[in-house]
Structure 1
């Protein structure tokens, strides 16, 4: 199936991690120009090198810094052309409760996880609407459906982006632009596997035992791969998904228990 992404410019945030790299790989495989962005240039460059191709570039950006976000868009446009697809894949906050968290901590993560996404979208949407084609895809967390204990900041702020994404979909749909959300289950990224190791250490159990706890809850009986997640994102950004707008797609192997 031709997804119609050949020659499109896709800006993917958070490509220093496994999920971000999987998304970048999926777009590159479809012939898109891929801008790999991360707060660490070396991480973004490692993904760009792994993805390969003459139209893949690495960029550094500190999300939450409005000037840096503006500069990122300018650099991408100069190197690869106007942004046709924006994939909002931002890093998560540390483990915390939802109460007794310093308000400055809330502000800092709101800036990097929510305001940055809104700002970047505002920078690229005028061009998308003028051209009559564009895609916003926001990678979220299963915590927005079933709140995850001790991820109070993540559950709260990522939920805010669900309302934003749906509202944007209503506004930009008439102009040929879509806005959708993707929710991962257990994806075998380096970060997820590191969390398994940490949980095993905290509970004085083996990593295999920790992972078995998850596997019995996943009908597919395995973790997903970053590339499988990336393929779902690429589909939502494609011509084939032009009538999918304002949606939430779960890529979880059936893990999330709610309807």
Structure 2
């Protein structure tokens, strides 16, 4: 099974923390040249120098705020003007929690911009190079809410489903060029976002953190939260030649929590 990503160039979004950082590390371990996209230049500089480089890779970064499509477009254009990209990891923080009935129009517009518009801009910029190389992997990190909507995440449920539909449509159009488009659906994973959601619940329900965490993990067959590295392992597989016939799929990585087949 061919899992090596040597001589492959990867753009990894949201790569200074959590799942994005874990994916960048795993792709680098597999031999890829990683270009990190995030908005904190200090962290980017620190992390890019700590990425594995045993295969002689050259890692780089671009400062990009996903709330500003024009800036993201300029950043990705500066990359593809020099090299062809083989792997694109679309990953950005989720919309704020809350009931959908209370969500403002601005919240929906911001989420649509950060998740749909940005993904579209990035894909449009990397696709020509992928076609030229005859190899492409677009991997979107979204949510199990694509399968079953999650309570108190109204805007997120809506936008994540839109990303999944966008990805499936794109996969139908690009498959003929050996470019696959797939989604990873993380469950409850130990990240800053999970920590924030737990704290929100603690405040809302006036209860203890341990009680909230137990209630959450009790719903997971594996009885624990996931680790960012466990999401990264699946991303690295999907990015590899071994996943050449996996296309248009939405794959839960959630310890079995999602109650659908």
Fold in common (TM above 0.5): yes
Tell whether the 8 Å contact from 2:77 to 2:125 is kept in structure 1 after alignment. no
User: C-alpha distance in 2, partners of 1:103/1:222?
Assistant: 35
- Runs of 4+ in structure 1 over 4 Å off: none
SS at match of 1:51: coil
The offset of 1:64, in angstroms, is: 4.3
- Structure 1, unpaired ranges of 5+: none
Count of aligned pairs between the two proteins:
258
Candidates 105, 114, 133, aligned match of 1:112: 114
Tell whether the 8 Å contact from 2:13 to 2:92 is kept in structure 1 after alignment. yes
Structure 1 residues 46 and 154, CA, compared in 2 at 3 Å: closer, same or farther? Answer: farther
1:215 matched residue in structure 2: 217
Whether 1:63 aligns to 2:66 is: yes
2:24 matched residue in structure 1: 24
Q: Aligned ranges for residues 239-258 of structure 1 at < 5 Å?
A: 239-258=241-260
Q: Aligned ranges for residues 186-201 of structure 1 at < 5 Å?
A: 186-201=188-203
SS at match of 1:191: helix
Q: CA offsets, 1:174-211, max 9 Å, x none?
A: 11100000000111113312332342243232222211
Tell whether the 8 Å contact from 2:69 to 2:113 is kept in structure 1 after alignment. no
1:162 matched residue in structure 2: 164
Structure 1 residues 193 and 102, CA, compared in 2 at 3 Å: closer, same or farther? Answer: closer
The offset of 1:245, in angstroms, is: 0.4
SS at match of 1:224: coil
Tell whether the 8 Å contact from 2:80 to 2:126 is kept in structure 1 after alignment. no
Moved more, 45-54 or 27-36: 45-54
- Structure 2, unpaired ranges of 5+: none
User: C-alpha distance in 1, partners of 2:200/2:154?
Assistant: 19
- Calculate the TM-score normalised by the size of structure 1: 0.92
SS at match of 2:101: coil
The offset of 1:172, in angstroms, is: 0.6
SS at match of 2:106: helix
User: C-alpha distance in 2, partners of 1:42/1:184?
Assistant: 27
Tell whether the 8 Å contact from 1:64 to 1:115 is kept in structure 2 after alignment. no
TM-align CA RMSD: 1.8
2:36 matched residue in structure 1: 36
